[in-house]
Amino acid sequence: MENDYKKIIDFIRDLYGTQQVPLHVPRFTGNEKKYLAECVDTTFVSSVGTFVDKFEEGIAKYTGAAKAVVCVNGTNALHLAMLLVGVKPKDEVLTQALTFVATCNAIRYIDASPVFIDVDKVTMGLSPKALKEWLSKNAEIKNFQCFNKRTKHRIKACVPMHTFGHPAKIDEIAAICKEYYIELVEDAAESLGSLYKERHTGLFGRVGVISFNGNKTITTGGGGMLLFKNKELATHAKHLTTQAKAPHRWEFIHDHIGYNYRMPNINAALGCAQLEHLEEFVLNKRETASKYNDFFTTIRDIDFFIEPENCRSNYWLNVILLKDKDAQQRFLQYTNDNGIMTRPAWRLMNKLSMFKEFETDGLKNTQWLEERIVNIPSSVRIK
Ligand SMILES: Cc1ncc(COP(=O)(O)O)c(C=O)c1O
């Protein structure tokens, strides 16, 4: 076993050309400094400036969204997405426990309750089979709305997450949501550049969310984006992100409770420069994944996680599956002791003190994956 671990860290060091290898770091290889200097020189660093519009247009074009609306980060984009589809206090929102805490925090900001449904082993994302099973046992439809038979609360939305960039079986999930009158909000924070049946993730419901945090495939320092198929909903979203200020040259009139969620121009400038390299970064990451895949076929008892069928994954964070929890812990200890940054998946949401009380469906695959997943270094490689 120790021999195999040594072989793995040698391989990773060789792949990245350094002794210490971080998990995921940003790459600034293009116009970043130029665009940032433009912001400083023109003084347009804050809420006014041309980079915001350019970045939104660029992401809409890249993803195929009718419109994209930029936010300060992915978490507040998720909060807004919940509001936009009409999630209200006491509603229930179906989601996965294998996710980053922001998914559930956004649900709780509105005082709605998460219900944790199992994931698929082959996608690590919400399982349509588990979703269907839970709904057929627990849900009833009244007046074109879905209710939990036991709690009597409305089940308003479903938030699957494309885990580590790998698309969930999102067309099946979308069909189930439609059948049960449930709004689909994709947490595509990690999956910019990932396609399901050639369609960009985040575009299967009325709204999807992307993150540009520093550890993502491209970054704006901090940032998020809402993706829309429908331009009207996007216009409303834009209004809400800008304090719901009615357009007027000098008067301050606000016609709704609004939010200061608009990304500053200086962050959008970074985003514009990064976006120019997005496709190249995704291809670079896919090549890294292919090298990992070839290498791990030579290692016993460790499986490299490959993209699900019918998908193009951005391989945001590469995943290996260890034999069991003991092996996972040993591997984490060995690699981190030797300067190779590796991480387990997040502590499951249903195990965190804030979310312990909420319903689950048993989470069999989720638990199995939690005990085995290890993320390994995945930054874009400099060639
Ligand atoms: C699945 C998921 N959802 C939401 C977020 C929140 O995004 P942000 O950090 O931009 O607020 C992240 C990552 O950061 C994430 O990984």
pLDDT surpassing 80 at residue 303: yes
Whether the CB of 73 sits within 6 Å of ligand 1: yes
Q: Show the tokens assigned to 229.
A: 């198929």
Q: Show the tokens assigned to 173.
A: 């999930």
Percent of the chain, pLDDT > 70? 100
Q: pLDDT tens digits, residue range 36-93?
A: 999 999 999 998 899 999 999 999 999 999 999 999 999 999 999 999 999 999 999 9
Q: Of ligand 1's atoms, which has the minimum distance to the CA of residue 161?
A: 1
pLDDT surpassing 90 at residue 1: no
What spacing in Å lies between the alpha carbon of 316 and ligand 1's midpoint? 13
pLDDT surpassing 90 at residue 140: yes
19 Cβ contact list (under 8 Å, min separation 6): 13, 339
CA atoms of 197 and 173, how far apart (whole Å): 14
Q: pLDDT tens digits, residue range 213-235?
A: 999 999 999 999 999 999 999 99
Q: Which residue has the higher pLDDT, 3 or 348?
A: 348
Burial class of residue 286 (count of CB atoms within 10 Å of its CB; 0-12, 13-18, 19+): middle
Asked if 227 and 61 touch (Cβ cutoff 8 Å), the reply is no
pTM: 0.98
Q: pLDDT tens digits, residue range 193-209?
A: 999 999 999 999 999 99
pLDDT surpassing 90 at residue 2: no
Pocket test for ligand 1, best of 107, 166, 190 (most atoms within 8 A of CB): 190
User: Would you state the pLDDT for residue 187?
Assistant: 98
Pocket test for ligand 1, best of 71, 75, 76 (most atoms within 8 A of CB): 75
Whether the CB of 160 sits within 6 Å of ligand 1: no
Q: Of ligand 1's atoms, which has the minimum distance to the CA of residue 212?
A: 10
Query: Average pLDDT for residues 143-160, to the nearest whole number?
Result: 98
User: Would you state the pLDDT for residue 92?
Assistant: 98
